[in-house]
A = this chain, B = another copy of it.
Amino acid sequence: MALPHAILAALIECPFSGYDLAKRFDGSVGFFWNASHQQIYRELSKLEAEGLITAEKVEQDGRPNKKLYSITSAGKAMLQEWIAQPAEVSPVKDDLLVKLFAGHIAPRETILQKLKEHYQQHRAKLEGYQAIAQQHFSDPAQLSEAHKFQFLTLRAGIRHEMAWMTWCGEAMTFLTETESNYQASLYVRDELSE
């Protein structure tokens, strides 16, 4: 589990409020981690109690006050230690694959529709990532150390969306082609039996 680590990682560069973090985990950083605001507030309290982050109250006019959280040296040390520890790869766990696994009990059209929707969702995500890449990472070799690593996580997001899109295309082609083959073979059989 990496939610506390993901929060610590997000706080290295600059302090954030819980609200900011929730937005980040729902936006551009959301391709490698996501969390609801409730989860984040709960985790921030815990991390503060453990001395891994500190809070600073910021009074604002015209807006509600907020708490800016910063990582402590203890927090940074534990994050460094965690990074060095061995990690297992995570399984995919996507609903669509469960639906596809049982796809033969549903109308072919329904499955093709699901694949199409999925394709479009991934294309939208890919376009978002590519826009970020162009705006903030157009010259990767000249980036700061911190940004080089953020660039690589963005590249991972891009690679994943591309893989999903490739697969969706492949699956749709396979299902329509083998369907038409099936219909073609039926047609041939009909001709032969006449």
Contact = CB atoms under 8 A, between A and B. Distances in A.
Interface of A: 2, 5-6, 8-10, 12, 29-34, 76, 79-80, 82-84, 86-106, 110-111, 114, 117-118, 121-122, 125, 140-141, 145-146, 148-150, 152-153, 155-157, 159-160, 162-164, 166-167, 170-171, 174-175, 177-178, 181
A130 to B, nearest CB: 15
B101 A9 contact: yes
Contacts of A31: 91-92
B155 A30 contact: no
A93 B88 CA distance: 12
Q: Is the interface of A mostly helix, strand, loop or mixed?
A: helix
In order of increasing CB-CB distance, the 3 nearest A-B pairs are: A163-B163, A32-B97, A9-B102
A90 to B, nearest CB: 5
A153 B101 contact: yes
A53 to B, nearest CB: 14
Contacts of A148: 104, 174-175, 178
Contacts of A6: 98, 101
